[in-house]
Chain A
């Protein structure tokens, strides 16, 4: 309910700014006489998918011996096929552009179908080991399946799962990004794979944008990609010097480049990521171990933070972000 909007509507109609036929609908929303529970329904759907897939995962884990692998795999397959069947029935025709969702539940049932299929593939691989020593390639299969489904049914959420599955195939997971940010836990192969995945994803996003094929997927690919790249670079700050200095310098350079690129393209989230990465890299280069406990360290942070605020003021004049 919004009393200010409710009070403004008749004045706007009287001033000829609003068409009289619009006023009743606007007013009933402003007075709280019509309430949309779309958000609540989305939360229910998301929570339902989360609970259901968690339940299936636990079912597999706790009933391996009792149910039998073939029965279990078949049951999960059937559930996934049923979900895909529902999706196929309700899906609009394919288009390289953005396609409106046919109904509220579509994205979530599609997500459920993909997760069930992925769970089934993982279970079959573990139980029957069709791929042998190359077991991890099932993650690539999942990534390709999810990507295909995402493109066909225009689902950014499934596309994000395709990217994360590909990254998992390369040894990188969201957990790694969290760890590298909060605790610095990392290893060189994972760091390099994260860098490679990040560059690949960012490049994929740019390609989609350039070719205007599912161009709206670009934001997912770009944000995920740069998050992996910057996470990989910043994870190197935990190494011993001088290696840490190399990673800090890389974070500074990449951060500045990303910020400049984002400024030109008016991409605000990437701008923030670039600025923060560059600041962390520069501060790490300048501040030696223990400097944070000393006057010079605090002075550096104070001066640079104030300088950053000044810089942001100037930047904002040239790059107005929508509210």
Chain B
């Protein structure tokens, strides 16, 4: 990562903290202004809406340019893709370097498309020129993609590419004999390193975030590799289109997997509590939910409606009890955890939650009479939570 960009990103972290402190009323405007002067940011940054608009129109422009060459009769799509990939990579370098853009939307688009076109172009080379086929082609592409995304994350500081690199790496491991075991070993080796790197002061903020994203992928890979449903249905072996029916898991493997399905989420959560890491807590909670759903697949404990109702009530009760437990501690905290917002206004629900609620809970529209129909066409109204049709 460029030194100037790294320094700017470190200063930006402090400015963001100052913004949060000011928003919470902990510091006044004069203090915030003084912090922003002391930690200046020379990058051109945009808010989320403008960033989105720049991103969208940049995508349209690049795809239109590619299409222009294509319809003009350029036959070698692979060569074209490589040319575009290299050109877009150069454009990203110029934007981040000379134009000092960060969170600008345009460099997000050009960097993403650079990777996409380079992967596509390399795939063409593998297929057309080097005659790679089948599994070897796929594995080679995953290897290249893993390397490319890692390089992009390192050079340009986009944390998402670190996650994509990790995903491609694990996909590549799936082609190894006993790929599932390699997933487990790789995840167990890499996850602690990445978690530690996510806190390392010598790494740039974007690189720390990238390590955290990649660590999350490792945790997911570990769980997926050990999970009983994944084992029984060959969810990892499907990457290589391996005929899983030839390789039924042994009794010991199944037993180990059943134990792991329950133990891994608990381990994540306990580690998250012990180390005060939200990443581990969040991954653990998600894995616990998947494990519970998996349990229902194998053991019919009760009707689905009862499980959902009790589960929902338990989740609500659990959240309330946990909040009370934390609030009852000295300073409304226990063990380094608090339910209070840190440097935020006492907030109501935010826009994302409103959108999610509308998407999940909005009723179906009643059927209106069609313009060329004579009479009213009745139909069911409905209500219910997401997933329940609500029509009776």
Contacts and interface: CB of A to CB of B under 8 A. Distances in A.
A224 to B, nearest CB: 8
A187 interface: yes
B60 A61 contact: no
Interface stretch (B32-40, B80-88, B169-177, B239-247): B32-40
Nearest to A154: B348
A17 B364 contact: no
B64 A301 contact: yes
Contact of B354 (A3, A15, A156, A295): A156
Given A52-B308, A157-B354, A164-B363, A276 B38 contact: no
Interface in B1-26: 10, 13-14, 17, 19, 21, 26
Contacts of B47: 268, 320-323
B315 A47 contact: yes
Interface hub of B21, B46, B60, B103 (most chain A Cβ within 10 A): B60
Contacts of B305: 55-59, 61-63
Nearest to B41: A323
Contact of B385 (A15, A49, A135, A224): A49
Nearest to B387: A54
Given A29-B342, A58-B308, A123-B392, A139 B384 contact: no
Interface in B301-343: 303-320, 322-323, 326, 333, 336-343
A130 interface: no
A133 B377 CA distance: 10
B380 A126 contact: yes
B361 interface: yes
Contacts of B318: 44, 48
A188 B285 CA distance: 45
Given A3-B200, A125-B381, A161-B358, A298 B363 contact: no
A32 B280 CA distance: 14
A64 interface: yes
Contacts of A188: 371
B368 A2 contact: no
A38 interface: yes
B105 to A, nearest CB: 9
A123 B357 CA distance: 21
A289 interface: no
A12 B10 CA distance: 15
A157 B356 CA distance: 9
A5 B17 contact: yes
Contact of A41 (B34, B319, B360): B319
A305 B307 contact: no
Interface string A134-162: 01101100100000000000111100110
Chain B interface size range: 35 or more
B361 A119 contact: no
Contacts of A224: 358
Contacts of B277: 32, 35
B53 interface: yes
Interface in A199-217: none
A279 B236 CA distance: 43
Nearest to B65: A302
A175 B390 CA distance: 15
The A contact surface, by secondary structure, is helix
B147 interface: no
B368 A48 contact: no
B354 A55 contact: no
A292 B319 CA distance: 52
A124 B336 CA distance: 49
Interface in B347-376: 347-349, 351, 353-354, 356-371, 376
Given A15-B38, A49-B385, A51-B308, A139 B357 contact: no
A170 to B, nearest CB: 7
B199 A32 contact: yes
Given A298-B71, A309-B58, A175 B376 contact: no
A218 interface: no
Contacts of B338: 34-38
A116 B282 CA distance: 29
B346 interface: yes
A173 B390 CA distance: 14
B339 A37 contact: yes
B342 to A, nearest CB: 4
B49 A38 contact: no
A122 B381 contact: yes
Interface hub of B312, B336, B361 (most chain A Cβ within 10 A): B361
Given A15-B38, A41-B339, A168-B362, A302 B61 contact: yes
B386 A54 contact: yes
15 contacts: A34-B333, A46-B356, A48-B311, A48-B316, A53-B384, A98-B348, A105-B319, A108-B316, A115-B385, A127-B392, A133-B376, A174-B358, A175-B364, A308-B57, A309-B54
Interface of B: 10, 13-14, 17, 19, 21, 26-27, 31, 34-35, 38-39, 45-50, 52-54, 56-58, 60-61, 63-65, 67-68, 71-72, 103, 106, 199-201, 205, 208, 276-278, 281-282, 285, 303-320, 322-323, 326, 333, 336-343, 346-349, 351, 353-354, 356-371, 376, 378, 380-392
> What 3 pairs across the A-B complex have the smallest Cβ distances?
A321-B47, A52-B312, A57-B384
